[in-house]
Structure 1
């Protein structure tokens, strides 16, 4: 599958269906707040395993119990289906667990 940059319409449709996500600096963005650092780090570990299985890795930041995630496909210079797929997987996990 050839990677292509998502259209603005595709991005807005994704955001409408996945309200936890937004667009910041031309990247999909989501922020989570957990009960403590252990819960935040556990979440990051689970996301890391998903990301590795998809061979698509997030830009992220952890500060104590907060985790911010940014998704972008550098090969296309913007958001692609790879980002949507990883975001959907993260959303499914968080909906089930958190």
Structure 2
């Protein structure tokens, strides 16, 4: 198996095809050691989401992007819910009168 080493023209073609597919996902070259042959999958704000193989098709990335984003958003919301619950608990505990 030959590993594709991504370069700027590959990224440009990949992103052009993602745009044709009306996907807000984009890919970028990675500079992280140990990820040879990988692209960085990014959202429309250029935030890193995940590594994908350079051999992956833009169609696969266009399908994977909303699934990954949905899971990420659910995880973030779950974390926010837990943080708010903890804050409400702490505020409630701090506001509770102490009985001596």
Give the TM-score of the pair, scaled to structure 1: 0.35
In our comparison, the structure showing a higher alpha carbon Rg is 2
Point out the structure with the larger strand share: 1
Query: Which structure has more RCO (C-alpha within 8 Å, separation ≥ 6)?
Result: 1
Q: TM-score, with normalisation over the residues of structure 2?
A: 0.34
More helix by proportion, 1 or 2? 2
